[in-house]
Amino acid sequence: MRHLKAGRKLNRSPSHRLALMRNLVTSLLRYEKVKTTDPKAKEVRRWADRMIGLGKEGGLHARRRALGFIRDKAVVRKVFETLAPRFKERNGGYTRIVKVGWRRGDHAPISVVELLAAEAATAESASGGRKGWRRSRKKEASAKKDTVAEQNA
C-alpha cells in the first residue's frame, strides 16, 4: 500500500527524479516558462509553488532551504527579491499549466508551465478568477468600436 507516498514516480529512480525536478524548477523560475510533458508539468507545479512559498517566508532559514533544492544563487535571489513580492497577495497557485498538444515522436502530451504575470496575478485575485472574462472582452471591443467610429466621423 502506498500510504503517504505523494508525488509521481515518472518511471525514474529517486535520484534521477530529484535531479529532474531541480533542473525543471530552476529553469521555470529563471525563464518563467518551461515546456514539458503533462505529468512532469503537474509535478513541477508542486515544487515551484513550494519554492515561491519559501521566498514569501523570506527568512535566512527559508533561503537556505531554497538553496538546498535550487542550488543556483542567482535564481534563489530572483525568487526572494522579485517573485515573492509579486505574489505577496496570493495564497498559492503561482503557476499555470497550458496544454499545447502532443510530441511528434512518441505522441506524449505536452504542456507549458508558466508563472503568472504580475498584472494577471492581481487582476485574477481581484476579479475572482476567470469569471466574467467574456464580459470584459465585450466591453473592450465595444470601446474600440466607439473610438473607431469617432475617428471616422
Q: What is the pLDDT of residues 55-68, one digit of tens each?
A: 999 999 999 999 99
Contacts of 15 (CB under 8 A, 6+ apart): none
Regarding whether 112 and 43 lie in a shared domain, the answer is yes
Regarding whether 123 and 48 lie in a shared domain, the answer is no
Q: What is the pLDDT of residues 18-53, one digit of tens each?
A: 999 999 999 999 999 999 999 999 999 999 999 999
Percent of the chain with pLDDT over 90: 73
Regarding whether 96 and 126 lie in a shared domain, the answer is no
User: Does the pLDDT value for residue 138 go beyond 80?
Assistant: no
Regarding whether 44 and 9 lie in a shared domain, the answer is yes
Q: How confident is the model at residue 84 (pLDDT cuts 50, 70, 90)?
A: very high
Asked whether 70 and 76 are in contact (CB, 8 A), the reply is yes
Regarding whether 91 and 127 lie in a shared domain, the answer is no
Regarding whether 137 and 112 lie in a shared domain, the answer is no
Domain residue limits at 144: 117-153
d(CA 147, CA 153): 10
Mean pLDDT of the chain: 88
Q: How many domains does the chain have?
A: 2
Q: What is the CATH number for 30?
A: 3.90.1030.10
Regarding whether 58 and 6 lie in a shared domain, the answer is yes
DSSP secondary structure string for all residues of 95-115: EEEEEEEE-TTT--EEEEEEE
Regarding whether 112 and 126 lie in a shared domain, the answer is no
Q: How confident is the model at residue 143 (pLDDT cuts 50, 70, 90)?
A: confident
Regarding whether 32 and 65 lie in a shared domain, the answer is yes
Regarding whether 42 and 65 lie in a shared domain, the answer is yes
Regarding whether 152 and 97 lie in a shared domain, the answer is no
Regarding whether 60 and 75 lie in a shared domain, the answer is yes
